Amino acid sequence: MADPRAIRRVLRNPAAWASALILGFVVVACVAGPFFLPSSLGEPGQSQYAPPSWEHPFGTDLNGRDQLYRVLTGGRISLLVGLCGAAVSLVIGTTWGLVAGYAGGKTDAWMMRIVDVLYSVPRLIFILIAINAFNAQLQKFASGLGWEWLVQSSRIAILIVTLGVIEWLTMARIVRGQVLSLKSRQFIAAAKVLGQSHAGILFRHLLPNLVGVILIYLTLTIPAVIIDESFLSFLGLGIQAPQASWGSLLADGAGAINPLKSFWWLLVFPAACMSVSLLALNFLGDALRDAFDPHG
């Protein structure tokens, strides 16, 4: 699947290297960072709206909570939703594209028509409605089962599933295109002649050849899902307080700048963290795509 020349092209690209390093740093900081900081930093404290200092490098917010701690724990949720949401979209998009491309004919035409229609519908708006419609039901369902963890993070769970459900369209198109070109190759014909089942051909022969393409578009889907999540949280319809994600921190920050007194650190630090991560993901994805598909 992976062309060694393509891997060498990625390794020679300084932008890809820098992006991967920065990304690794942000992920490690968000995942491991809060363990090394006292958890009292996330609780309301004495100093309100304290500007950045040695004690609070990113300053504090309205309730005296340490902004650095909030940005790191918020990053955890944003990255988690991005990664899991992208994984959901990967499963749906790959399956859809595989089946459509392999079946061909009328099935293919109908399945791709559905994708076209979904492209032209404002999908995020449905998510807005769906989250608020399903959240209470999921909480009731989870508490009925006695799953305390799901009651607390029901919104995260719904966000992951619903965002995955709307971000699979591009993946489906790309996978289908690849399947169409692979289908006419001789090893598929050979597998058919040997009497392989359809499932066998799909998963044994086609899927392994698609891994490269799928991984590249996964790195481009993660930032898209992170942006969607922060879009909802920014509007106050995604992650709810006391939990925070980069989107809801940005909303707080945007509310804290005004002509009288602007608490710029509440806006600038979450914005910087999110920008750096999104830029690194997009640059990495772009470098991978260019390396594996120089003509595309």
Partner 1 sequence: MGVSLLRRLGSLAAVLFCVVSITFLLIRLSPGGPFDGERKIPEAIEKQLLAKYKLDGSLWTQYSGYMADLLCGDLRLSTKYRNRSVNEILAQTLPVTLCLGGIAFVLATVGGIWLGTLAAMHQHTWRDVGAMFIALAAISLPSYIIGPVLILVFGLELHWLPVGGWGNWEHIILPAITLAAPAMAAIARLMRGSMVETLQQDFVRTARAKGLRESVVVYRHALRIAVLPVVSYLGPLAAHLLTGSIIVETIFHIPGAGGFFVNSILNRDGFLLGGMVIVYCVMLVLFNLIVDLAYGLLDRRIRG
- Report the length, in residues, of the chain: 296
Q: 28, exposed or middle or buried, with CB in 10 Å at 0-12, 13-18, 19+?
A: exposed
Tell me if the bond preceding 122 is cis, omega within 30° of 0: no
Least separation, in Å, of the C-beta of 120 and partner 1?
5
Contacts of 197 (CB under 8 A, 6+ apart): none
Taking CB under 8 A as the criterion, the residue among 59, 85, 238, 253 binding partner 1 is 253
Is 17 a binder of partner 1 (CB under 8 A)?
Answer: no
Least separation, in Å, of the C-beta of 278 and partner 1?
4
> What is the DSSP secondary structure assignment for residue 95, as one 8-state letter?
H
Least separation, in Å, of the C-beta of 234 and partner 1?
5
Is 119 a binder of partner 1 (CB under 8 A)?
Answer: yes
Which C-beta is closer to partner 1: that of 128 or that of 182? 128
Taking CB under 8 A as the criterion, the residue among 24, 204, 235, 294 binding partner 1 is 235
What is the contact mask toward partner 1 in residues 122 to 161, using x (rule: CB under 8 A)? Answer: x-xxx-xxx-xxx-xx------------------------
Task: Give the long-range contacts of residues 262-269, CB within 8 A, separation 24 or more.
Answer: 263/49, 263/59, 265/51, 265/52, 265/58, 265/59, 265/67, 266/59, 266/61, 266/67, 269/58, 269/59, 269/67, 269/68, 269/71
- Are the beta carbons of 98 and 175 closer than 8 angstroms? yes
Least separation, in Å, of the C-beta of 255 and partner 1?
9
Which C-beta is closer to partner 1: that of 4 or that of 122? 122
Which C-beta is closer to partner 1: that of 164 or that of 247? 247
Q: Which residues bind partner 1 (CB under 8 A)?
A: 117, 119-122, 124-126, 128-130, 132-134, 136-137, 223, 227, 230-231, 234-237, 247, 250-251, 253-254, 257-259, 262, 264, 267-268, 271, 274-275, 278-279, 281-283, 286
